[in-house]
Structure 1
Amino acid sequence: MNIKPKILVVDDKPENLVAIRKVLRDLDVELVEASSGNNALKATLYNDFTLALLDVQMPDMDGYELASILREEEKTAHLPFIFISAVYTDNLNVFKGYEKGAFSFITKPFQPEILINKVKFFVEKHQQEIELFKLYKNLEKKNKELEYSNKEIESFSYSVSHDLRAPLRAVDGYAKMLEEDYSELFDNEGVRLLNAIQFNSQRMSFLIDDLLAFSRLGKKTVQKTELNMNILIDDILNTVLKTDKKKTKVKVNNLSPAMGDPSLINQVLLNLISNGIKYTSKKTNPLIEISSKTESGEVIYEIKDNGVGFDMLYVDKLFGVFQRLHSQEEFEGTGVGLAIVQRIINKHGGKVWAQAKLGEGATFSFTLPTI
Structure 2
Amino acid sequence: MIRLLKRPVYLSTILIILIFIIDLIIPLGVAVGVLYVCCIALLIRVDTATTLKLALLSTFLTAVIPILTIDSHTTWMAFVNRGISIASIWVLYFIVIKHKKLNDIKKVYTNKLIHKNKEQEQFIYIASHDLQEPLNTVMSFSNVLNDKYYDVLDERGRKCLTYVHQASARMSALVKALLDYGRLGKNREKEEIDCNVMLNDIIMDLDERIQTSHAKITIGELPIINGYKNELRMLFQNLLTNAIKFRREGHPPQITISAQKEDKSWTFYVQDNGIGIAEEHKQKVFTIFQRLHTTSEYEGTGIGLAHCNKIIDLHHGKLWLESELNKGSTFYFNLPI
Do both share a fold (TM > 0.5)? Answer: yes
Tell me the amino acid that sits aligned with residue 339 of structure 1.
A
Tell me the amino acid that sits aligned with residue 333 of structure 1.
G
Tell me the amino acid that sits aligned with residue 235 of structure 1.
D
Paired positions, count: 283
Tell me the amino acid that sits aligned with residue 298 of structure 2.
F
Residues of 2 paired with 1:283 and 1:221: CA distance?
44
Q: Deviations over 1:155-190 (max 9, x none)?
A: 312331233223222221221221222112023332
* Cα distance change, pair 113–274 in 1 and its aligned pair in 2 (3 A): same
Residues of 2 paired with 1:182 and 1:283: CA distance?
41
Given that 2:194 and 2:225 are in contact with CA atoms closer than 8 Å, whether structure 1 keeps it comes out as yes
Task: Name the stretch that deviates more: 135-144 or 294-303.
Answer: 294-303
* Cα distance change, pair 122–216 in 1 and its aligned pair in 2 (3 A): farther
Residues of 2 paired with 1:133 and 1:296: CA distance?
35
Q: Are 1:273 and 2:240 matched, yes or no?
A: yes
Tell me the amino acid that sits aligned with residue 84 of structure 1.
V
Alpha-carbon deviation of 1:204? 0.7
Partner residue, 2:318: 351
* Cα distance change, pair 112–154 in 1 and its aligned pair in 2 (3 A): same
Given that 1:290 and 1:303 are in contact with CA atoms closer than 8 Å, whether structure 2 keeps it comes out as yes
Residues of 1 paired with 2:307 and 2:129: CA distance?
22
Partner residue, 2:146: 179
Which structure dedicates a bigger proportion of its chain to strand? 1
Alpha-carbon deviation of 1:149? 0.5
Task: Name the stretch that deviates more: 141-150 or 354-363.
Answer: 354-363
Q: Deviations over 1:120-167 (max 9, x none)?
A: 232133223212321331232123202320231133123312332232
Residues of 2 paired with 1:138 and 1:179: CA distance?
60
Partner residue, 1:196: 163
Residues of 2 paired with 1:226 and 1:281: CA distance?
37
Structure with max Cα Rg: 1
- Structure 2-normalised TM-score? 0.71
Superposed counterparts of 1:1-371, under 5 Å: 50-52=55-57, 81-82=61-62, 84-85=64-65, 109=74, 111-217=78-184, 220=186, 227-242=193-208, 244-246=210-212, 247-258=214-225, 260-280=227-247, 283=250, 285-369=252-336, 371=337
Secondary structure of residue in 1 paired with 2:307: helix
* Cα distance change, pair 138–149 in 1 and its aligned pair in 2 (3 A): same
Given that 1:259 and 1:368 are in contact with CA atoms closer than 8 Å, whether structure 2 keeps it comes out as no
Given that 1:353 and 1:364 are in contact with CA atoms closer than 8 Å, whether structure 2 keeps it comes out as yes
Secondary structure of residue in 2 paired with 1:84: helix
Alpha-carbon deviation of 1:296? 4.9
**Aligned residues with identical type, % of pairs:** 30
Tell me the amino acid that sits aligned with residue 282 of structure 2.
V
Q: Deviations over 1:304-355 (max 9, x none)?
A: 2233334444323222222222221111011111122123224434332333
* Cα distance change, pair 122–224 in 1 and its aligned pair in 2 (3 A): farther
Residues of 2 paired with 1:145 and 1:281: CA distance?
46
* Cα distance change, pair 54–284 in 1 and its aligned pair in 2 (3 A): closer
Given that 1:348 and 1:368 are in contact with CA atoms closer than 8 Å, whether structure 2 keeps it comes out as yes
| Structure 1 outlier segments of 4+, above 4 Å | 85-89, 219-227, 242-245, 281-284
Provide structure 2 residue ranges, at least 5 long, that are not aligned to the other structure.
1-48
Given that 2:193 and 2:225 are in contact with CA atoms closer than 8 Å, whether structure 1 keeps it comes out as yes
Given that 2:66 and 2:79 are in contact with CA atoms closer than 8 Å, whether structure 1 keeps it comes out as no
Residues of 2 paired with 1:160 and 1:48: CA distance?
54
Residues of 1 paired with 2:261 and 2:300: CA distance?
32
Provide structure 1 residue ranges, at least 5 long, that are not aligned to the other structure.
1-43, 56-80, 90-105
Q: Deviations over 1:5-39 (max 9, x none)?
A: xxxxxxxxxxxxxxxxxxxxxxxxxxxxxxxxxxx
Partner residue, 1:99: none
Which structure dedicates a bigger proportion of its chain to helix? 2
- The CA RMSD measured in Å over matched residues stands at 3.3
